[in-house]
Structure 1
Amino acid sequence: MAPLEFGDAAARRVERAYATPDVVAQRAQVMELLGPQQGERVLDIGSGPGYLVASVADAVGPSGAVHGLDPSAPMNTLARTRTAGRPWVHIDEGDAVALPYPDGTFDAAVSTQVYEYVADMPRALAELRRVLRPGGRALVLDTDWDSLVWHTRDRELHQQVIAAWEEHLVHPRLPRTLAGLLRRAGFEVTGQRVVVLFNPQLHAQTFSASMMELVAEFVTGRQGLTAEDAQAWLADLRARADEGDYLFSLNRYVFLATAV
């Protein structure tokens, strides 16, 4: 695994991607399924730039408490700025395998696009179970990267690029085993859903427009791919848009669980 590095510029790029209508709609579905209530204590594991933390904080109100946890200092800076003025929000530095909270602290916890990067999933989910009260709710969302559909002419180059992109992941197909992992960690799985990110056109406010730039930057120098290869891949995608046959689709899977 070669993890993505989130310096200030990368954190800002992710923040822009999370502001696209595609991810805003995803976040709305997560909020509906998680259902945070007034006065609840909620944890967001891998809170990134803090969009979801802010939404949860508004739902639980000042009688509740929300903790966002992320290992990236630049992400945490963005999250603190986004949630300023909500004293019941706390942005903490840490990671999923060693949650810095006492047993049974939270009524609910959410983690979106995090566990596919975590090597020790049994430990991470044991920690998730530990910090939830009995009967507490968990929502986990991750991607199966085999679901990625991106229309390109040069299929061989595209396959090389996506193989190199998967180097930043520990579990590129985590949703296939996540229900079993949750059950073994002490959860009852109460629901499973799919969230589809679908872009039949390419423009600046699509999720795939942000993602393609991130992919091209990451894969350069990996698996024999040069900067010229990455630019050729980008040019292929843009040409599809110019010719009116652009298409991008990606499945993200949501698991709802209750601590038993």
Structure 2
Amino acid sequence: MIETAGLTPPDPIIYLDQVAASVPGRAYKQQMLAMLDLRPGQTVLDIGCGPGTDLAELAAGVAPTGSVIGVDHNPVMAEQARARLAGQPIVDIRIGDAHSLPIDDHSVDRARTDRVLQHVADPVQVLAEFRRVARPGAKIVMAEPDWDTLLIDHDNLAMSRGLTRFITMEVIRNATIGRSLARLSTQAGLITRCVVTTTPVLQDFETADQLWGLRRNFVRAINAGYLDRGAERWIEEVGSMPFLASVTIFLVVAEVPA
């Protein structure tokens, strides 16, 4: 039987910090930063800034004359971000809904959203809000996983497919949004300038479990009927044998028409 330890969802702030500190997390976040092409004097927006994980690097890119606005709907996240960025006078943290940003029209030069659109009720509305607050020619960089691409190496393909199906159907609201970002950007009136993918490959089970909640979601998949209860042996085997898993992340750059 799978041990119950570690099956409780992690603290969201700790989890976001763990993702940012991981090797794949650092790699794609640096790629996003380069795609933003920040310049001193710009105003840059982080939609769904969480505990402020990425705000210091944004500030460094637009300092000394620019400004950074972080928006999050969760007051706890916003308060943590304020505490972390207290020494950065050009950073402004606001509590607000991504579907109705607390920002003036045509005031933003750059924006980013990192693994946020997979959770929102209406991704197109969020992108339309970016278009409203953005200046002509402003750019947004988006990063979203496509959870339908989650792969775990094992001879029993049905088990891996069952877990992936559960995550895409029951866990993540917009589980395949990665592949849809370019289309949704067009629907919001933006021009897609670049679409690239990065596929982190993890060969350590404990790291994959920490980042993707494999044990926790496997138990949930069994309880929800996506996998037979006898499948508990499978996750024990996966954790004890040479391990490999991956998921594809889409990075998309879109622009407001000039």
Deviations 1:168-223 (A, max 9, x none): 32221113332122123221111111122122x2166x4x24124x3433564451
Q: What is the match of residue 198 of structure 2?
A: 195
Task: Say what the alpha-carbon RMSD is for the aligned residues.
Answer: 2.5
Counterpart among 144, 147, 153 of residue 145 in structure 1: 147
Deviations 1:207-249 (A, max 9, x none): x24124x3433564451479x8796554233212xxxx31111
Measure the CA separation in 2 of the matches of 1:62 and 1:235.
52
8 Å CA contact retained: 1:152, 1:236: no
Matched length: 245
- For the structure 1 residues 178 and 203, does the alpha-carbon distance in structure 2 shift closer, same or farther, using more than 3 Å as the test? closer
One-letter code of the match for 1:138? Answer: I
The alpha-carbon deviation at position 64 of structure 1 amounts to 1.1
Q: TM-score, normalised by structure 2?
A: 0.84
Q: TM-score, normalised by structure 1?
A: 0.84
The 5-angstrom pairing of residues 22-61 of structure 1 reads: 22-61=24-63
* SS of equivalent residue, structure 1 residue 255: strand
Matched, 1:170 2:173: yes
Measure the CA separation in 2 of the matches of 1:68 and 1:230.
43
8 Å CA contact retained: 1:46, 1:111: yes
The more displaced of 158-167 and 170-179 is 158-167
Matched, 1:256 2:253: yes
8 Å CA contact retained: 1:192, 1:254: yes
8 Å CA contact retained: 2:163, 2:217: no
* SS of equivalent residue, structure 1 residue 250: strand
One-letter code of the match for 2:244? Answer: L
Counterpart among 185, 189, 195 of residue 186 in structure 1: 189
The 5-angstrom pairing of residues 60-79 of structure 1 reads: 60-79=62-81
Q: What is the match of residue 237 of structure 2?
A: 236
* SS of equivalent residue, structure 1 residue 170: coil
* SS of equivalent residue, structure 2 residue 118: helix
Unmatched tracts of structure 2, length 5 or more: 1-8
Measure the CA separation in 2 of the matches of 1:64 and 1:136.
15
Between the aligned residues of both structures, percent identity stands at: 29
- For the structure 1 residues 153 and 193, does the alpha-carbon distance in structure 2 shift closer, same or farther, using more than 3 Å as the test? same
Measure the CA separation in 2 of the matches of 1:92 and 1:35.
24
**4+ long deviations beyond 6 Å:** 228-231
8 Å CA contact retained: 1:153, 1:236: no
* SS of equivalent residue, structure 1 residue 138: strand
- For the structure 1 residues 11 and 234, does the alpha-carbon distance in structure 2 shift closer, same or farther, using more than 3 Å as the test? farther
- For the structure 1 residues 21 and 229, does the alpha-carbon distance in structure 2 shift closer, same or farther, using more than 3 Å as the test? farther
The 5-angstrom pairing of residues 102-141 of structure 1 reads: 102-141=104-143
Q: What is the match of residue 223 of structure 1?
A: 224
The alpha-carbon deviation at position 20 of structure 1 amounts to 0.9
Measure the CA separation in 1 of the matches of 2:35 and 2:165.
32
* SS of equivalent residue, structure 2 residue 254: strand
Q: What is the match of residue 3 of structure 1?
A: none
